[in-house]
Amino acid sequence: MSECYEYVPHRLLRRRVRDIASGVEGVLMAVINENVSDTGIERWMELAYIRGASGREFTTAATNVEPAPDQPKTAAGRRDQGSA
């Protein structure tokens, strides 16, 4: 079984994305073509590594990644008003 992997270019790298399978949003850190098989038969898949708000990364199929909708800026606005 081969342990090689390959980084794959993606148009949404370093941008805020949404995993359509789980609904979780985060920043797309990498897309890697990996052997996901735990048997002797290789099975290659493009996995997207997404860093969530907690700082932890999770994986999903690269086909499950879409741009995240724009987020309202209410939290930043409240912080600025409270510190004034």
Between CA 42 and CA 1 the distance in angstroms is 6
The predicted model scores a pTM of 0.76
Q: Which pLDDT does position 3 carry in this prediction?
A: 62
pLDDT in tens, 19-39: 999 999 999 999 999 998 888
Q: Are 62 and 31 in contact (CB under 8 A)?
A: yes
Between CA 48 and CA 45 the distance in angstroms is 10
The helix (H) or strand (E) run that includes residue 75 is helix 74-83
What band does 77 get if pLDDT is binned at 50, 70 and 90? very low
What band does 71 get if pLDDT is binned at 50, 70 and 90? low
